[in-house]
Structure 1
């Protein structure tokens, strides 16, 4: 497997990999010395695909994982001529010649299973998640990134019951601060997704918070500046 993070949603556009930079990094990952990599983009693409074809011919096909691609990323140039590729994005990249899979949040059962596996890998013999799948689901809301962060929190606090962790994360006002645990993980992921929205979509997203919901007590109508 040959993974690469394209940083397609980095707020600073200078941190987003161009296809030229990505091809150079992929060639390094395939063992091609820098001095053999041409400065011409077309030559880099041909070399990249030729090397992948050689791996496939040697019965060692390479799975290329193009992670975090945005609609502005020239993904077409990064697709291998031989072998397979997986492209992940926050947008639907419908122009790619590929099977599209929309990933939903994990089910409660899958959430509990993944959390149990991650926690057991960090602390062998730790069965908190396996024994209390209902609390595992409540703590993570089916989000893979949240599951990884909660696993790290539980591993840091081996004496904390999973029910206590789930209860602490139930408070929506402090949930992100607790789950990030001084590491900008979940909040950063949400922020990047929000920044990728258009101005109208961002405004609609903010307006959703003005709806108190069917189970909340009546609130005064929000003033325009609230939203």
Structure 2
């Protein structure tokens, strides 16, 4: 299988270590992975702000960049969700449908397509998992607290297999961090309060490192953590799954 690696714009610009960890992880799993060098934003920021028509160019370029691959894999639940659910604004050609159907968030791809959970990682720390709204409720990466479904979590499966890692139980396991893209700009006060509530839950639960599959949420909380000098480290799940310390 040929896999196209999609690296969201904010990860490319601000968190290149997450992109590198994602690539190295896929290569360790013997995936035939490629990085289309002309890729850009998937169009999510414009779509989230109510300018879907203006995002069509970015969406179509995404399709052109990734249409030749069997799977498209990215370390961002929200971006992958946008591709799968919001590329309906494009004419539904064979290429568009193929890209939408074959786009996968990293953890989902590893567990559901590759059938792997133990990746040989080592990470001797107490970890708190932030389940992003797009990944949890959009991509169905885990069960939701508002439903009485049997518990499951793709991310937990992977983290529980990491040697030395202690996955801490939170009081509110799937509460929103308040980022929400442009919501954090237009509703700053509410966004900050929600983020601080999530951080406090991790602190109360004895967490040393917060992780998750959406670095946009982690970026939001990391900014609040650094501003308030809280004793927490933030790492994308790809970095932990690629760790051998």
Q: TM (normalized to structure 1)?
A: 0.30
Greater fraction strand: 2
Bigger Rg, structure 1 or 2? 1
